[in-house]
């Protein structure tokens, strides 16, 4: 594969953008090598500036659940653009969006639109603190909730890859208010709430972890957290930026049957445009300005073009059987990857929930952050590059989940597995 144009662009980018990118994991730092620059994307494929094609399992890190450049989303955006790009005053699609979210996710009786997942989580904890009058929040090791100061404590995703569990620039006084727990550990959560329950404003969790590879909750774990929060008067916040509208139409809360107090969204809800949202019970959301005293605002929030893209996407994911088909594709992919690894004599296990999956270079079933980080990352890196060279783009880090879209049909999965059979041999040879 020729990468001359990407290489030239990356050289220019590195002079002007920190690390050559606008979001850390894109730089390929943990897998080594250089990123390719994308010219265009369509369906299950990305096309780079050198004319190479890749089957894409990153999906813009989650939003592209119907595949890239879906005509319905594109047309909705084109139609919206004809009427103007931003109004700074209410527009009709904001109401339709709020109606759609509250219908699909009933725990959200009211919502507020923002511009990213980070804004959604920041706003949700401010509301939790404002509503409870308490200062502390609880998060989980390896969970990533965007780059807000309070969340860069034992965080996942890029922060995990780069070994920066607590970023410089986060004041210790603020980080001290973030308590952390090991994910999927029942007793640790009980003990923390027994000790500090009265000081905890809210507990925020990725109900399926997608930022320390992919780790589903143990049976009853989310229910356990629900009970602890209720008992101690803390708010349960599900960060469904990744899982929302993906693991099920109603998100992880529908899939596991657990009702949070507040939920954050991003990714799919914007159809590829920069969008986030947070929502919850009416009595809580009524405390957000201007209805209530908890301040939060945004120049571009509820942007008409972003609302059009998100609404078109949410329309598509409501097609009957949509999530069941995606789950079946993901199952076929994961089972095929395990079989291919086995053939090559490589120890690999997979996790999956709906259209989210994780691939681990280990022989164990991975249920904890400690297990996820103990996997053979060198083998993953060899596998990653062997796949990329064969035209399959996996997330460029061993600590990210993979995403399947409805454009990933059987032929795409077969081509992926064919590449994987060879790539696992390369991984094994390391």
Residues 6+ apart with CB under 8 A from 106: 250
Helix axes 410-429, 322-343, angle to 10 degrees: 30
Q: How far apart are CA 151 and CA 206, in angstroms?
A: 12
> Exactly one of 45, 56, 267, 399 is catalytic; which is it?
267
Give the strand order in the sheet containing 45-48: 38-42, 45-48, 53-56, 392-393
Work out how close the CB of 419 gets to ligand PMP at its nearest, in angstroms, rounded to a whole number.
Answer: 26
Asked if 407 contacts 67 with a C-beta cutoff of 8 angstroms, the reply is: yes
Q: Is 61 in the site for ligand PMP (CB under 6 A)?
A: yes
| The one among 93, 121, 150, 301 contacting ligand PMP by CB under 6 A | 121
**Which of 164, 233, 148 is CA-nearest to residue 193?**
233
Nearer to ligand PMP, 145 or 385 (CB): 145
User: Residue of minimal CB distance from ligand PMP?
Assistant: 117
Peptide bond into 410 cis (omega under 30): no
Task: Give residue for tokens 């949509």.
Answer: 322
Q: Which helix (H) or strand (E) holds 112?
A: strand 110-114
> Does position 216 bind ligand PMP by CB under 6 A?
no
Residue of 6, 93, 100, 116 interacting with ligand PMP (CB under 6 A): 116
Active site residue 29: no
Min CB(270)–ligand PMP separation in Å:
9
Q: Is 365 a catalytic residue?
A: no
Closer to ligand PMP at the Cβ: 185 or 206?
A: 206
Stretch that binds ligand PMP, among 125-133, 179-187, 234-242, 330-338 (CB under 6 A): 234-242
Tell which one of 266, 271, 358, 402 touches ligand PMP (CB under 6 A): 266
Task: Please state whether beta strands 235-239 and 392-393 pair in parallel, antiparallel, or not at all (unpaired).
Answer: unpaired
Which distant-in-sequence residues (6+ apart) come within 8 Å of 186 by Cβ?
A: 218, 220, 221, 224
> Which listed residue (54, 57, 144, 221) is catalytic?
144
Rg (CA), the chain: 21
Contacts with ligand PMP by CB under 6 A: the residue count is 17
Asked if 213 interacts with ligand PMP (CB under 6 A), we say no
Q: Which residues, 268 to 287, sit near ligand PMP by CB under 6 A?
A: 276
Distances (CA, A) of 367 to 114, 156, 246: 32, 15, 20
Q: Residues 132 to 161: which contact ligand PMP by CB under 6 A?
A: 144-146, 157
Residue 178, interface with ligand PMP (CB under 6 A)? no
To the query of whether residue 144 is one of the catalytic residues in this protein, the response is yes
Among the listed ranges 99-107, 112-120, 298-306, 417-425, the one in contact with ligand PMP (CB under 6 A) is: 112-120
CB of 248 to ligand PMP, least distance (A): 16
Residue 375 · residue 39 · CB < 8 Å: no
- Residues noted as catalytic: 144, 239, 267
- Residues at the interface with ligand PMP (CB under 6 A): 61, 116-118, 121, 144-146, 157, 206, 210-211, 239, 241-242, 266, 276
């Amino acid at each position: 594969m020729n990468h001359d144009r990407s290489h030239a662009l990356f050289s220019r980018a590195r002079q002007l953008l920190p690390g050559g990118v606008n979001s850390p994991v894109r730089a390929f730092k943990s897998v080594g090598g250089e990123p390719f620059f994308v010219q265009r994307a369509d369906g299950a494929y990305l096309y780079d500036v050198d004319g190479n094609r890749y089957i894409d399992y990153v999906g813009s890190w989650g939003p592209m659940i119907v595949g890239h450049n879906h005509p319905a989303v594109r047309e909705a955006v084109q139609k919206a653009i004809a009427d103007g790009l931003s109004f700074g005053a209410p527009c009709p699609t904001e109401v339709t969006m709020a109606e759609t979210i509250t219908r699909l996710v009933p725990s959200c009786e009211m919502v507020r639109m923002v511009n990213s997942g980070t804004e959604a989580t920041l706003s949700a904890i401010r509301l939790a603190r404002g509503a409870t009058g308490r200062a502390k929040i609880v998060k989980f090791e390896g969970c990533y909730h965007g780059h807000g100061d309070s969340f860069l404590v034992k965080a996942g995703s890029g922060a995990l890859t780069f070994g920066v569990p607590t970023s410089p620039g986060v004041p210790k006084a603020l980080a001290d208010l973030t308590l952390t727990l090991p994910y999927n550990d029942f007793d640790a959560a009980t003990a923390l709430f027994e000790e500090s329950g009265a000081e905890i404003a809210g507990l925020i969790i990725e109900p399926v972890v997608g930022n320390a590879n992919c780790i589903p909750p143990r049976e009853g774990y989310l229910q356990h957290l629900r009970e602890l929060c209720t008992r101690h008067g803390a708010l349960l916040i599900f960060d469904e930026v990744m899982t929302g509208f993906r693991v099920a139409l109603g998100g992880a809360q529908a899939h596991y049957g657990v009702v949070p107090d507040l939920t954050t969204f991003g990714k799919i809800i914007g159809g590829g445009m920069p969008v986030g949202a947070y929502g919850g019970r009416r009595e809580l959301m009524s405390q957000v300005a201007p209805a209530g005293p908890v301040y939060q605002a945004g120049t571009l929030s509820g942007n008409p073009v972003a609302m059009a893209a998100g609404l078109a996407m949410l329309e598509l994911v409501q097609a009957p059987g949509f999530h069941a088909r995606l789950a079946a594709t993901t199952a076929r992919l994961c089972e095929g990857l395990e079989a291919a690894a086995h053939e090559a004599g490589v120890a690999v296990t997979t996790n999956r929930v709906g259209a989210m999956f994780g691939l681990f270079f280990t022989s164990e079933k991975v249920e904890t952050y400690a297990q996820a980080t103990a996997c053979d990352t060198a083998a993953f890196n060899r596998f990653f590059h062997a796949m990329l060279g064969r035209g399959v783009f996996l997330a460029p880090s061993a600590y990210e989940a993979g995403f399947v879209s409805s454009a990933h049909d059987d032929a795409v999965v077969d081509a992926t597995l064919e590449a994987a059979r060879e790539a696992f041999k390369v991984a094994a040879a390391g």
